[in-house]
Chain A
Amino acid sequence: MIRTEELLLNVGPQHPSTHGVFRIIVRLDGEIITEAIPVMGYLHRGTEKLAENLNFTQIIPYTDRMDYVSAMTNNYVLCHAVEKMMGIEIPERAEFLRLIVMEMQRIASHLVWWGTYLLDIGALSPFLFAFSDRERILQLFNELCGARLTYNYMRVGGVKWDAPEGWIDRVKTFVKDMRLRLDEYHNLVSGNEIFLSRLKGIGKYDADTAIAYGLSGANLRSTGVEWDLRKTEPYSLYDRFEFDVVTGKNGDCYDRYLCRMGEIEQSIRILEQALEQFPGDGETMGKVPRVIRPPAGETYVRIESPRGEIGCHIVSKGKAEPYRLKFRRPSFVNLQILPKLLVGESMTNLVTILGGIDIVLGEVDC
């Protein structure tokens, strides 16, 4: 008789498809996974602890580095939490700028996801298609705030920079082009039969499981739950614009793919409206005290980041530094379902499922 044994395979922390320093120990029977143990923490920097010794303005650059693919939404969630605690009014122009950059960021973030996901599945070109368009967004951000990845753009009470001359028009051109490019993306990939057969029915779960695991973002919406904080708990100016919450039906990788692609389209819609209504002039900073000292107490705010619900919980003792700062990071929470999904799948599907969750390791480990 042939002696058979299970294969213990170490995937990561250095592996092309773990999107950073993430490690999964998988037990393989042939190519079928019988157990998967995720190991996190390789990128842990202690942001929350560091923040306890920093004042709120100083924390903003640290939030850039959590979800580094979507730094604008991180900026926003911190500023929004402090503003809520202190009851600061934000000038309309600043709020518009915030909303525009957040939606552009959502497009950029989904583009990164789209490109790297297709690279995981084995297609080479989408990655460069996505990055050539993301480059235009980064260039616009660079003109606006002087950085391409870690923007440090928002401040408590407003934004640091007003839009430079002609910037709004350049965004308008970009949005127009992006619509055409999105069609091209769909032509390139979405109809490809190999692609469909790789995604359909893979990594399936239902709405109850998703809610039980606390999933959010496209991971939750792919099961058909209409939960988008921009709609369900409107913050910023989202209640002024028309857009749809894109949901799936089956809760598999393909529906997650469609959700994210649909979200790019909805972001384009929001941007088109926001750019039309953009106020001609106005302040970009509200009335903020010299030293930001939120009153004693605590608050929790949550917004919809490209990856899901990002939340910021501040406990303040009335000092310039937070007593305790806690970020609810969507990547971290969404990742928890991974071991459950992987059992019984093949090595190939490991990559499909992990990519479909869309994690950013900077945020998982924080």
Chain B
Amino acid sequence: MEPLRFIDKPLTWGHAGLMVLMAVAVLAVVILFVTYAIYFERKVIGWMQFRKGPNRTGPLGLLQTVADVSKLLLKEDTIPAKADRGLFILAPALAFIPSFAVLAFIPYSQHLQFADLNVGFLYYIALSGVTTIAIVIGGWASNNKYALLGGMRSAAQMISYEVPLVISVVGCVMLAGSLNLRDIVEAQSGYFWHWNFLPQIVGFAVFVVAAISELNRTPFDLPEAESELVAGYHVEYSGFRFAFFMLSEYVYVYAIACLTTILFLGGWHAPIPQLDFIPGLIWFVLKFAFVVFCLFWIRATFPRLRVDQLMGLAWKVLLPLSILNIFITAACIELFGMGG
């Protein structure tokens, strides 16, 4: 199959139509993922708590999320009287659009990629920053004190954690000699100890922590800390607007799980080259599912951090560690000729 690189080709009506079709296909895949990620999350957390999880809507409860989403979509659309109407409506859309746009550059296997960007990872960081603004806007526009506190926390948290997130990846970039995600995966070919998570163990650890924090998931779910801020920035949202916030949150789970797989777990490569007869896409999905499972697993186990500790962790621990990682990587490349 030819690499799906439309961007390189001249834009014609046919190509444009194809691009739209592909985007719709990705949207369908993502929505399917979100539907079953939520189902899977509830099942896993249920099993970890002596429960069975959703099992009453449809066979094995498979239609639970469908039912929940339909309920949200059919719900009355409420906007608080004292809210800033324009911003209140804008925020959910602004949160969702970048989350979907970041999916364009993810390579799923050797040939399956939508946009082969040379700045790959930076594109993700640039766009995901927009969602932070949406959350702050949502918290501000709700005209609710809890929402405002949640929005403030979210802004502080996400901006702080983007820094170590980016810097932790620099090590991988140095080893591959490219920001292009496909090149980074190619640089990890071979046995599983060539995957970046071992040579870049520090970077990997920092990346995982910062990524969970970017996702606002336990133990970093302070913006929506239920026991303190009730629901944080989306306390006034209901119906389909709330659904958009939820959707963008899970699309980011999808994006981050893909990125972890690509940057540190060897993307579509088999753990040992002898298993190469299994298609790369399957390996990718397996690794991806493992990362998603770990996110749920952590959510079922850990308590939440405190705001000041959260900031301390980002600036005092993760940032120095990730910078140190860059120097160590550089030294290793120079002294032992690692990577490219």
Contacts and interface: CB of A to CB of B under 8 A. Distances in A.
Given A123-B301, A194-B302, A194-B303, A128 B227 contact: no
A17 interface: yes
B277 interface: no
B306 interface: yes
Contact of B227 (A17, A129, A188): A17
Given A7-B145, A15-B230, A348-B228, A129 B50 contact: yes
Interface string A54-73: 00000000000000000000
A34 to B, nearest CB: 15
A57 to B, nearest CB: 39
A243 interface: no
Given A16-B226, A16-B230, A194-B219, A348 B299 contact: no
A119 B49 CA distance: 13
A188 B145 CA distance: 34
Given A128-B49, A129-B50, A194-B302, A122 B145 contact: no
A195 B149 contact: no
Contacts of B243: none
Interface string A2-27: 00000101000001110000000000
Contacts of B51: 128
B299 A124 contact: yes
Contacts of B307: 31, 346, 348
Interface string B13-49: 0000000000000000000000000000000010011
B162 interface: no
B304 interface: yes
A121 B227 contact: yes
B149 A132 contact: no
A145 to B, nearest CB: 26
Contacts of A277: none
Given A7-B145, A122-B221, A132-B50, A198 B306 contact: yes
B149 A31 contact: yes
A349 B304 CA distance: 12
Contacts of B228: 17, 347-348, 350-351
Which of B50, B219, B228, B307 is most buried by chain A, counting CB atoms within 10 A of its CB? B228
A15 B50 CA distance: 26
A198 B145 contact: no
A209 interface: no
Contacts of A192: 301-303
Interface string B99-134: 000000000000000000000000000000000000
| Interface residue SS majority, chain A | helix
Contacts of A197: 305-306, 309
A86 interface: no
B300 A120 contact: no
Contact of B304 (A15, A16, A122, A128): A122
Contacts of B308: 346
A124 B45 contact: yes
Nearest to A202: B306
B304 A121 contact: yes
A273 B183 CA distance: 68
A125 B230 contact: no
Contacts of A31: 149, 152-153, 307
B304 A125 contact: no
B298 to A, nearest CB: 11
B58 to A, nearest CB: 24
A168 interface: no
A182 interface: no
Contacts of B221: 122
B229 interface: yes
A118 interface: yes
B218 interface: yes
A125 B218 CA distance: 12
Nearest to A120: B227
A129 B50 CA distance: 7
- Scoring B226, B299, B303 by chain A CB atoms within 10 A of each residue's CB, the highest score goes to B303
A189 B301 CA distance: 8
Contacts of B303: 118, 121-123, 189, 192, 194-195, 198
Contact of B225 (A15, A128, A348): A348
The 4 A-B pairs of least Cβ separation, nearest first, read A122-B304, A128-B49, A123-B303, A121-B303
Given A122-B225, A198-B304, 4 more contacts: A122-B227, A194-B303, A348-B222, A349-B306
16 contacts: A31-B149, A124-B45, A124-B299, A127-B49, A189-B303, A194-B302, A194-B303, A197-B306, A198-B305, A198-B306, A346-B306, A346-B307, A348-B222, A348-B307, A349-B306, A351-B228
